[in-house]
Structure 1
Amino acid sequence: MTFGRQLRHWRQQRGMSLAALARESYVSKGYLSRVERDLRRPQRRIVELLDAALYADGELFAAWASEHEVPILERTAGGDTTKRRLFIKSAALASGLGLSGEHVRADQREAQVALLRDALIPDSPTSADAREPMVNYSRAIAIARRDFAAARYELLADKLVPLTTAARNASGPENLALAAQVYHLAARTLIKLSATPYAWTAAHLGERAASASGDIGAMLQARRNLVSLLHRVGDYGKARDLVTATAETMRPYLASARPATWGAYAALLSTGAIAAAYVDDRENASDMLNEAGHAANRAPALLCGPGHVATYWIGVSVILGDAGTAIHHADRIAPGQIPTAERRASYYTGMAQAYTMWGKIDQALRALLIAEKIAPAELTRFGTRQTIADLLTRDPKSRLSGLRALAHRAAVIL
């Protein structure tokens, strides 16, 4: 029996419609229909999602692996050879998704970070003759923002190198405001790539450019970067206080602010709520997110809409140990309402954390697989890797379909 027929068999056995399976596996209904008719060959990650959604216990994946001659790793336990569920080591290595592939990507990331570092901290100052108005880079900056929203961090690091070089010599309010946007993107990208020391440099340069420009939105973005970096060093009290003070200072200027400025304000408050949660300041965390929600209603969705703020409600609830509340917040918004891949992935990684706390480890794994499908780069974030490690601890014999393979793709080893 072909894989497509096997998929239809499992779906019908579970009493699920194509539409229901599409929702559960985060794959389109049309795509699933073509797979069932053997018109499409699904990728391994999609098969993992389908196997988990149908509770096929690895059998659906085994059918796919057999059809495409993918060897399945076996392990001896108690004298019996037991087929392991979805840990296809040889296939992962062959496709560059195993440990060796992760090491290659790590080397690439280090090289890209080094290039961006050198643009932020050049060996010698740029000649005054080489200066070019930042307004000439407006389109490139807009493309860079879209790359960040799509979680293409490594690609973005390359694109930021010439932009950062140009930003160093910006002058005049308009050019400095654009330079601050470049530094903001550089800081956030370096945070995503776990290059925190260089992110501090970008954040400092960004705040200096923003202050000189007089642009409120740029100032709010720069402050948010500092708050995020204070998170990284565990100084949550300082991060919360910085957000509180900045909000009080900037609030009077918001009445006539542009929509993008409201988005920056909502993002700052959302990040501050995370800090407040870490110091168990529930009241401030709630107040910040409520205000962020109102601000997000006046902001462009791609910058910081209500869907973005919802992911922070999930994060705050997880930090406060309220797994049920986190899931409640997740249920209040459809993932499709979150316009960027970066935040949609955060939605699912937050759900994974909540489900892990709740002991629903199969649902946690499914959420992680969906997050990986949306934005693979998010898999290597510290919090995501911590969740994967927690799942491995809770399921040491790898009964969960796809857990070991996921751990290897994230370079998580216990």
Structure 2
Amino acid sequence: MDDVTDPIWRSGPVRAALDSGDPGAVVRSVREAHHLTLAELGARCGYSSSTVSRLETGRQPLRDVKVLRSLADALGIPAHLLGLADTSVRIVPIRSPAARVGSIPRPDEETDPMRRRTLLAGLGGLAGSTLLGVPAAAVADPLAALEATLLAPPAEIPASATAAGLDREVAAARAVFQHGRYAEVAAALPRLLPIAIAAHTHHPGGRHAANLAELYTLSTELLVKVGHDHLAWTTADRALQAAYASGDILAAAIARRAWGRVLRRAGRAETANRLVIDTAADLQHDLGRGPEFLSVYGSLLSTAAYTAATSGDRDAAHTIIGEAADAARRVGADANHRATAFGPTGVDLYRVSIARALGDPGIAIAIAARINPAAIPTVERRGQYWTDVARAYHQWGKPERCYRALLAAEQATPDEVRHRGHIQQVTGTLLSHPSTAGLPGLRAFACRVGIAA
């Protein structure tokens, strides 16, 4: 079917599309010339009909070689007509430009200087315990120690750099984070990062690079939690570099997702979504390789849907989260492949966030009501569930229910309420509200989240 003498190449719509130089228009015109529906073309390529629609209309840029080749093969389009002549398939995406340490993104609603104090208070409460190998009492300010490690790495390479237990320690740090114990992770990272850097220095690439990428990604997620966006900007870029060095396509996708979240918080939602959606498209041919690929793919789509919602793009948010739900159904039960906590419940959690971001608190609460909190795979996500419920009730003008949800979030993981700027803002509003200012325990709760009541 790739014979350029075929009559379809002389048809008006196809020739107009070829003259336009728009690959999406070429795909659409050839598909229609062959009387194929979006769903039929999608079935040939392994894409959903909505993905094909986005590619054809330019809402999802059609520039990835792998995607172009799959469409060309499915439709019999000669490769050179889509600019594919002498172009090899890209296995790992080209890295984004390096971030500059001096570039400080615009803070969003969660930025609050009080969070350093609340993090220190949380760490102080852990004195005497062991934090992933670091005694709590020995760490005066974990954020300062992490910042020093990131901006001025130790000159000497640790002797334990190539220890066989590094995989285990990195996995343990991720597990502690997902258990909602952020202060412990903040205390451990200044020790783990130099070890991982040294291991990658001695034995570049492979598993050592993947471990370093995971630690930088974990650092990014932690710094986002505590509002240190300027450092998150740096760690997200370093996570990408290490992930690409590892040769692990999923590590690269996870790092790009974290980078997309940082870009969104920097006020660059359009760039963030282009990055995340392109990354998801890169994975589409590999979804049959197992639940890890489906889980990372679905997590990327969930992030893209929420980003669209924060920009007020209701249609895109609902369309993309629908595709994430399709991936969740293919995964089956809720799981935690590649630390994504992705599955049907995970998608519903994003639906709550999306409804709230779109200004639909009643819908957010209705969705939340069908979620069993005990079924949420990680403590961190359980805490986020309750904080989202609290914010939706606050948005809806139901302060007493908002307060009860905040207490549930604190019970799930105290660090989730202690470190989040939006929780401090909501709590401050409750303190000043005539119907809730006298609620039992509210002032004590305010003190615990860092508000002087």
> TM-score scaled to structure 2, two decimals?
0.63
Contact 2:324 2:347 in 1 (8 A): yes
Contact 1:135 1:178 in 2 (8 A): no
Tell me which amino acid in the other structure corresponds to 2:283.
M
**Structure 2 matches for 1:10-409, cutoff 5 A?**
102=118, 105=121, 111-127=141-157, 130=159, 132-133=161-162, 136-169=165-198, 170=200, 171-256=204-289, 258-297=290-329, 298=331, 300-301=335-336, 303-305=340-342, 306-379=344-417, 380-395=419-434, 398-409=437-448
SS at match of 1:234: coil
Shift of 1:141: 1.3
Contact 2:430 2:437 in 1 (8 A): no
Shift of 1:413: 5.3
Q: Which residue does the alignment assign to 1:68?
A: none
Distance 2:217 2:277 in 1: 20
Contact 2:205 2:247 in 1 (8 A): no
Contact 2:119 2:183 in 1 (8 A): no
CA spacing shift, 1:103–1:329, aligned 2, 3 Å: closer
Distance 1:353 1:249 in 2: 34
Contact 1:292 1:309 in 2 (8 A): yes
What is the RMSD of the two structures over their aligned residues, measured on CA atoms? 2.7
Q: Which runs of 5+ in 2 are unaligned?
A: 1-114, 125-138
Contact 1:134 1:175 in 2 (8 A): no
Distance 2:233 2:122 in 1: 21
CA spacing shift, 1:234–1:158, aligned 2, 3 Å: same
Tell me which amino acid in the other structure corresponds to 2:121.
R
Distance 2:432 2:151 in 1: 41
CA spacing shift, 1:278–1:413, aligned 2, 3 Å: farther
Contact 1:277 1:285 in 2 (8 A): yes
Contact 2:361 2:393 in 1 (8 A): yes
Distance 1:236 1:385 in 2: 25
Shift of 1:308: 2.4
Q: Percent identity?
A: 35
CA spacing shift, 1:212–1:413, aligned 2, 3 Å: same
Distance 2:118 2:246 in 1: 41
CA spacing shift, 1:123–1:132, aligned 2, 3 Å: closer
CA spacing shift, 1:121–1:408, aligned 2, 3 Å: same
Distance 2:247 2:120 in 1: 43
1:74-104 CA distance string (max 9 Å, x none)? xxxxxxxxxxxxxxxxxxxxxxxxx9x8495
Distance 1:110 1:279 in 2: 39
CA spacing shift, 1:110–1:241, aligned 2, 3 Å: farther
Farther off after superposition, 227-236 or 370-379: 227-236
CA spacing shift, 1:322–1:413, aligned 2, 3 Å: farther
Tell me which amino acid in the other structure corresponds to 1:204.
D
Shift of 1:241: 2.2
CA spacing shift, 1:102–1:193, aligned 2, 3 Å: closer
Considering fraction of residues, name the structure with more helix. 1
Q: Which residue does the alignment assign to 1:77?
A: none
Contact 2:123 2:184 in 1 (8 A): no
SS at match of 2:253: helix
Distance 1:192 1:300 in 2: 23
Distance 2:245 2:287 in 1: 19
> TM-score scaled to structure 1, two decimals?
0.69
Distance 1:357 1:290 in 2: 25
Distance 2:286 2:160 in 1: 32
Distance 2:118 2:187 in 1: 19
Shift of 1:342: 0.8
Shift of 1:166: 2.1
Contact 2:428 2:451 in 1 (8 A): yes
1:54-82 CA distance string (max 9 Å, x none)? xxxxxxxxxxxxxxxxxxxxxxxxxxxxx
Distance 2:357 2:231 in 1: 27
Q: Which residue does the alignment assign to 2:451?
A: 412
Distance 2:386 2:119 in 1: 25
Contact 1:314 1:326 in 2 (8 A): yes
SS at match of 1:309: helix
Tell me which amino acid in the other structure corresponds to 1:193.
V
Q: Which runs of 5+ in 1 are unaligned?
A: 1-98
* Count of residues in correspondence between the two structures: 313
Distance 2:312 2:140 in 1: 36
1:9-65 CA distance string (max 9 Å, x none)? xxxxxxxxxxxxxxxxxxxxxxxxxxxxxxxxxxxxxxxxxxxxxxxxxxxxxxxxx
CA spacing shift, 1:102–1:149, aligned 2, 3 Å: closer
